[in-house]
A and B are shown apart, each in its own frame.
Chain A
Amino acid sequence: MSLVNQPLVIAGREFQSRLLVGTGKFASPEAMRDALAASGTQLVTVALRRADLTGRKDPFANILDFIDPDRYLLLPNTSGAMNAGEAVRLARLAAAAGLPKWVKLEIHPDPRYLLPDPIETLAAAEVLVKEGFTVLPYINADPVLAKRLQEVGCATVMPLGSPIGSNRGVQTRDQIRIIIEQATVPVVVDAGLGAPSHAAEAMELGADAVLVNTAIAVAGDPCRMAIAFKLAVEAGRAAYEIGLAERLETANATSPLTAFLDAVPVS
Chain B
Amino acid sequence: MHNLAGGDRLGSFSRVTFFDEFSRLPLAVLLRSATSASSASVRSSLASGVGSLSDFAALLSPAAGALLPELARRSQALTRQRFGRVIRLFAPLYLSNECINNCRYCGFSRDNPILRVTLSVADVVREARALGEQGFRNLLLVAGEHPRFVSNGYLAECIRALHAEVPSLSLEVGPMEAADYAPLVAAGAEGLVVYQETYDPIVYEAMHTAGPKRDFAWRMGTPERAYAAGFRRLGIGALYGLAAWRREALCVAAHAAYLLRHCWKAQVTISVPRLRPCAGEFQPLTSMSDRELVQLVCAFRLFLPDVGLVLSTREPAPLRDGLIPLGITLMSAGSHTEPGGYTGAGHDQTHLTQRGRIVPRAKGASEWAGTPDALTKATGQFEIADTRSAAEVSALIARLGYEPVWKDWDPALSSAFPAAQAESSQAAA
Residues of A within 8 A of B (CB): 24-29, 48-53, 58, 60-61, 80-82, 85-86, 89-90, 92-93, 109-112, 165, 167, 214, 217-218
Whether the pair B423, A53 counts as a contact (CB closer than 8 A) is no
One of B85, B135, B260, B406 near A26 (C-beta < 8 A): B85
Whether the pair B84, A217 counts as a contact (CB closer than 8 A) is yes
B91 to chain A, nearest CB (A): 12
B401 interfacial contact with A, CB 8 Å: yes
Closest B residue to A59 using CB positions: B135
Chain B residues in 8 Å Cβ range of A25: 80, 83-86
B322 to chain A, nearest CB (A): 18
Whether the pair B81, A50 counts as a contact (CB closer than 8 A) is no
Whether the pair A48, B84 counts as a contact (CB closer than 8 A) is no
Whether the pair A89, B417 counts as a contact (CB closer than 8 A) is yes
Show 15 A/B contacts (Cβ-Cβ < 8 Å), sorted by A.
A26-B86, A27-B85, A29-B403, A48-B412, A50-B407, A53-B412, A58-B407, A60-B135, A61-B167, A93-B410, A111-B267, A112-B260, A167-B81, A214-B84, A218-B85
Chain A residues in 8 Å Cβ range of B407: 49-52, 58, 60-61
Whether the pair B408, A218 counts as a contact (CB closer than 8 A) is no
Whether the pair B406, A93 counts as a contact (CB closer than 8 A) is no
A241 to chain B, nearest CB (A): 33
A29-B403, A112-B306, A165-B81 are contacts. A85–B412 as well, Cβ < 8 Å? no
Number of A-B contacts (CB under 8 A): 91
Interface size, chain B (Cβ < 8 Å):
34
A110-B264, A165-B82, A218-B81 are contacts. A27–B403 as well, Cβ < 8 Å? yes
Closest A residue to B403 using CB positions: A28
Whether the pair B406, A61 counts as a contact (CB closer than 8 A) is yes
Whether the pair A110, B265 counts as a contact (CB closer than 8 A) is yes
B232 interfacial contact with A, CB 8 Å: yes
A50-B407, A82-B265, A112-B260 are contacts. A90–B413 as well, Cβ < 8 Å? yes
Chain B residues in 8 Å Cβ range of A60: 135, 137, 406-407
A28-B398, A218-B80 are contacts. A48–B85 as well, Cβ < 8 Å? no
B409 interfacial contact with A, CB 8 Å: yes
Chain A residues in 8 Å Cβ range of B84: 24-26, 214, 217-218
Whether the pair A50, B408 counts as a contact (CB closer than 8 A) is yes
B266 interfacial contact with A, CB 8 Å: yes
A249 to chain B, nearest CB (A): 35
Closest A residue to B407 using CB positions: A61
B420 interfacial contact with A, CB 8 Å: yes
How far, in whole Å, are A85 and B81 apart by their CA atoms in the complex?
30
Q: In B304-325, which residues have CB < 8 Å from any A CB? A: 306
Chain B residues in 8 Å Cβ range of A165: 81-82
Chain A residues in 8 Å Cβ range of B268: 111
How far, in whole Å, are A58 and B407 apart by their CA atoms in the complex?
10
Chain A residues in 8 Å Cβ range of B135: 60
